[in-house]
Homo-oligomer: A and B are copies of this chain.
């Protein structure tokens, strides 16, 4: 059975959009999704760097993230044909460990504890495929990388790209991408 590792932020958790909504609400701003294309929120509102960074030290932020559409059903389908691991770079934000774990247990109950990996450098992940929005991590990974579209990677090339979880289903389930 081939093994797919799946990133968390921007792939199964709507981190950037949740951050945008919270930021707009809390600081009475009106940054749009479109402004985030190819940029981070800190790049769009550099004077709010500290305030934006403070969300990333909050357990409550990581516990409250929205689930990316269709990721739950497609992951359950993938588990019939592939071994699925969640691999997330939690080391950058120690406050996020427990919240991310609890979030996964709530929203992805079919993923066993033993198939959750917190790491900082995805070259350590031993899997056939990695679905990730982060180009650096895809370059580090030693298997075949699949780029999950996000505003910040819109112009990137060099990897098979999926725009949403229906694309992931098409690639791995319908077309049998093995």
Contact = CB atoms under 8 A, between A and B. Distances in A.
Interface in A119-168: 119-121, 123-127, 142
Contacts of A102: 94
Given A126-B125, A126-B126, A91 B120 contact: no
Interface stretch (A9-17, A30-38, A46-54, A110-118): A110-118
A139 B98 CA distance: 28
Contact of A119 (B91, B118, B120): B118
B127 A124 contact: yes
A106 to B, nearest CB: 13
A97 interface: yes
A97 B59 CA distance: 13
Given A113-B91, A115-B120, A120-B114, A126 B101 contact: no
Question: Which of A118, A125, A127 has the largest count of B CB atoms less than 10 A from its CB?
Answer: A118
B91 A116 contact: yes
Contact of A94 (B94, B98, B121): B98
A138 to B, nearest CB: 15
Nearest to A127: B124
Nearest to A120: B114
26 contacts: A5-B124, A85-B124, A87-B124, A91-B101, A91-B113, A91-B116, A92-B113, A94-B101, A95-B98, A97-B97, A98-B98, A112-B120, A113-B120, A114-B119, A114-B120, A115-B120, A116-B119, A116-B120, A117-B117, A117-B118, A117-B124, A118-B119, A119-B119, A124-B125, A126-B126, A126-B142
